[in-house]
């Protein structure tokens, strides 16, 4: 019976954590649910980039990776500030941390060191994250219902594409070494 109860409590706790990460549209915001979801994902992506890049500032062993990380901190902090200003105008409160999935990925990254860290950081935080982010921003730039959300997505795309290009070049350089 105790084993059953323990299993039930663990399952309940896991469900609560999962549900806590799920977004529900904010009723006081004039934004559509899709626009809110885009802003949520964008905010969480910025925080994941910043946290991962701060970690790289402490753990990276390559000057190229350190430079890339410093640039990502600067650029994604700026993007986060723009997103926060937009969200405030739209009465939307964006999340202030990475998603559960992103936090898990950051935890995995934190367990690495040296060259393994460098490669994983560039691959996951640099290439994979920016590839996914660009897809989300392209969709929002084309389909967001709110014109300000659409403009934000369009305005950010050139920087995001540049970040991806830098990450891909760094990834290729690491593979050649």
| Domain residue limits at 61 | 29-176
Six token digits for residue 142: 């084309």
Other Cβ atoms closer than 10 A to 15:
10
Closest CA to 69 of 51, 87, 82, 56: 56
> Into how many domains does the chain fold?
1
Residue 81 lies in a domain: yes
Tokens for 138, please give them: 């392209």
Exposure of 4 in the CB half-sphere (CA atoms within 13 A): 1
Query: Token pair 């019976």 is at which residue?
Result: 1
Confidence of residue 2 (pLDDT cuts 50, 70, 90): very low
14 lies in some domain: no
* 10 domain-assigned: no
Averaged pLDDT score across all residues of the chain = 88
Distance CA 113, CA 163 (A): 23
Judge contact between 68 and 17, C-beta under 8 A.
no
Q: CATH number for the domain including 81? A: 1.20.1260.10
Question: pLDDT band for position 81 (50/70/90)?
Answer: very high
Name the one residue in this structure whose structure tokens are 């469900």.
15
167 within some domain: yes
Assess contact for 99 and 48: CB atoms under 8 A: yes
% of the chain with per-residue pLDDT over 90: 81
CA distance 108 to 103: 9
**Residue 152: inside a domain:** yes
pTM of the model as a whole: 0.83
What pLDDT, in 10s, does the model give residues 37-75?
Answer: 999 999 999 999 999 999 999 999 999 999 999 999 999
Q: Which two tokens stand for residue 104?
A: 């898990």
Residue 158: inside a domain, yes or no? yes
- Predicted confidence band of residue 177 (pLDDT cuts 50, 70, 90): confident
Task: Name the DSSP letter for residue 27.
Answer: T
């Amino acid at each position: 019976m105790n084993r059953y109860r323990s299993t039930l409590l663990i399952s309940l706790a896991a469900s609560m954590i999962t549900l806590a990460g799920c977004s529900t549209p904010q009723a006081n915001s004039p934004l559509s649910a899709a626009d809110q979801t885009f802003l949520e994902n964008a905010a969480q992506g910025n925080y994941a980039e910043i946290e991962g890049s701060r970690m790289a500032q402490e753990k990276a062993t390559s000057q190229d990776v350190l430079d890339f990380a410093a640039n990502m901190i600067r650029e994604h902090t700026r993007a986060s500030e723009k997103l926060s200003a937009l969200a405030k105008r739209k009465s939307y409160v964006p999340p202030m941390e990475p998603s559960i999935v992103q936090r898990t990925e950051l935890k995995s990254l934190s367990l690495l060191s040296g060259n393994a860290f460098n490669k994983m950081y560039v691959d996951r935080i640099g290439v994979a994250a920016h590839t996914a982010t660009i897809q989300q921003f392209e969709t929002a730039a084309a389909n967001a219902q709110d014109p300000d959300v659409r403009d934000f997505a369009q305005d950010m795309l050139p920087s995001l594409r540049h970040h991806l290009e830098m990450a891909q070049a760094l990834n290729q350089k690491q593979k050649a070494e």
